Structure 1
Amino acid sequence: MLDRIEAKKPEALARLQDYIREGGFGQGDRLPPERQLIEQLGMSRATLRQALETLERAGAIWRHVGKGTFVGDRTPDLGKDADALTSLGRQLTPLRMMQARLCLEPALAREAAVHATGEAMAALGQTTKRARAAATWAEYEAQDDQFHRTVAEASDNALLLSFFDQLNRTRRAVTWGNVERRNVRPPADHSSFNEHEAIVQAIADRDPERAWAAMRDHLKSVSARLFP
C-alpha cells in the first residue's frame, strides 16, 4: 500500500491531481468511488474529501449526489453524456470492449508514428518508465491508462482523441470481474512492459505500420491473459 499521508495535506492534493492526470481521466470522466480512492491513494476519508473539495472549488472536478465525482467543469449536458456512456458500458461484455479497442487503438498508434512531437515522445517514455517502477498494481494501472491516452494524444487529431476518451469512459463502466494476481505489483517480466516499449520504439522510428502492429499485438496479448 502507498504510504499514508494524512499529515501532509498539500501532498495529498498533489497525489490526487497526479492520480487524475496519470490515470488518463479526461473531461467528463467519472472518478472511482471514495472507498477505492482511499485504498489507492493511501489517505483517510477526511483527507480525501478535503482534497476533493479543493479541486471542486478550483473547477477541476464537480460532484453529483448519487452519481459520483466527474473531471472538469460542469456543463448542462455533461451528466447526460456520462450517464449514457456508463449505461453503454454496463451492457458490454469485456470481450466486446477489447474488440472495440482493437478497432481504434492500433489506428491511433499508426497516426502517432506520423504526427508525434518530441514532447509526446518524452511523455511516452516517462509513462513506460513509471509503469516499470510501479510499486502496486493500482499504480501500474494508472500508468497503463496514461500510456494509452498519451498514444492517442500523440496522434495529434482532436476527433480521434475524443473517440478514445469516449471509449475509455465506457471501458470503466464494463464489469471486468475479479482478476487473480499473485503479486502486489507487476512482476519484472510482465509482458506489457516490453509490449509498451515496442509501441514507443515503432512510433519513434516513424514506422506507422509497425506501430499499428505493435499496438494490435499488445491488445491481443492483454486479451489472451483476460480470456484464456
Structure 2
Amino acid sequence: MNELYYAQSNTSSEIKPGYSTVEKLKSLIASEDFAPGSRLPSERDLIDRFKITRANLRKAFDILEREGVIWRHVGKGTFIAEPHSEKSILNISELVNELTPVQLLRARLSIEPAIAREAAIHASEAGVSRIAAACNAASSATSWSEYERADDLLHHEIAAAAQNPLLMSMFEYLNAVRRAVSWNKVVRSSDRPASDHDSFVEHTRIFAAIEGRNANEAQAAMRTHLISVSKRLFGDD
C-alpha cells in the first residue's frame, strides 16, 4: 500500500461518519488492502454503501484519478493505479508549478504522434477494437467530464496498442502530468461537446489510420488532432 496516498486513511473496516466521499474511498482502499490493478466495487455498490449520489461519487473519482490513486476504463470499471515512488510524485508536483497547459500540449506533440505511428504498426486486433470502443465512448459522451474520461482512455489505448513498454512509460508519465496541470483557464461554452465537435472527426481519422496499418497517416492524424486541440483551447497559431 502506498503510504504517500493513504497514510491518513482509516485502517478499520468501518467508515467514520462525516468523511468526505474522497476520504471514504481512500479509507475503503486502505482497509481492504486493494492491490494495484484491482477493481473497485461497482458504482451502484459504492453508492449503496456510502449513501451518496452518483454525481457525488463521480466527482470523488475525478479527484482520486487526478491524484493518481485510481484509473477508469469505460465499460470495465474503476481500478487501483500503480503506485509511484515519492520522488516521482514530488517531481511531478514541482513540474506542474512551472508548466502551462500550452507547454504540456507541445510536449504531447513531441511524443504522441510517434506513439500513434507505432500503434499502426504493432496494434493487435484486440487493441484496435479497444481503440474503436474508446472512440465511440468519446463521441457519445453526454458531458464534458464524460468526454474527457473517454478521450483520456482513447489516448491510453493508442499508447497500449504500440506494445512498447518504454513508450508506454513515457506516455503514462506525460499523462500523469497532464492530469495534474490546472485547466482553470479553459472556459466551456456548453455543458457537453457538440454533435459536430472537431475531435470526433479527428479521432476517427486516427483510428482509421491505425486500423488500416498506415503508420505515416496515423502519425500525421495525431499531430493534426493535438494542434487542433491547442487552437480550440488556447488560440495557438
TM-score, normalization: structure 1?
0.71
Aligned to 2:46: none
Aligned to 1:124: 131
Aligned to 1:176: 183
Which residue of 223, 226, 230 maps to 1:216?
Answer: 223
In the aligned structure 1, how far is the partner of 2:95 from the partner of 2:150? 25
Question: Match of 1:53, as an amino acid?
Answer: S
Cα pair 1:127 1:147 within 8 Å, conserved: yes
Aligned to 1:10: none
Map 1:74-153 → 2, pairs under 5 A: 78-153=85-160
The Cα offsets for residues 186-210 of structure 1, whole Å up to 9 and x where unpaired, read as 1101111110111000000000000
- Secondary structure of the equivalent of 1:111? helix
Cα pair 2:118 2:215 within 8 Å, conserved: yes
In the aligned structure 1, how far is the partner of 2:94 from the partner of 2:87? 10
Taking a change above 3 Å as real, the CA distance of residues 145 and 45 of structure 1, as seen in their structure-2 partners, is: farther
Q: CA deviation at 1:53?
A: 3.1
> Is 1:55 the equivalent of 2:29?
yes
Aligned to 2:69: 70
Aligned to 1:186: 193
- Using CA pairs under 8 Å that are at least 6 residues apart, name the structure with larger relative contact order, 1 or 2: 1
- Secondary structure of the equivalent of 1:127? helix
Which structure has the larger Rg over C-alpha atoms? Answer: 2
- Secondary structure of the equivalent of 2:168? helix
Cα pair 1:199 1:214 within 8 Å, conserved: yes
Count of aligned pairs: 180
Question: Match of 1:156, as an amino acid?
Answer: Q
Runs of 5+ unmatched residues, structure 2: 6-17, 38-66, 71-79
Q: CA deviation at 1:86?
A: 2.0
- Secondary structure of the equivalent of 1:86? helix
Aligned to 1:200: 207
Q: CA deviation at 1:226?
A: 1.6
In the aligned structure 2, how far is the partner of 1:47 from the partner of 1:95? 32
Q: CA deviation at 1:136?
A: 1.1
Aligned to 1:9: none
In the aligned structure 2, how far is the partner of 1:114 from the partner of 1:69? 30
Structure 1, 79-88 or 158-167: larger mean CA deviation? 79-88
The Cα offsets for residues 79-111 of structure 1, whole Å up to 9 and x where unpaired, read as 221121121122112221111100000000000
Structure 1, 85-94 or 201-210: larger mean CA deviation? 85-94
Aligned to 1:34: none
In the aligned structure 2, how far is the partner of 1:73 from the partner of 1:133? 26
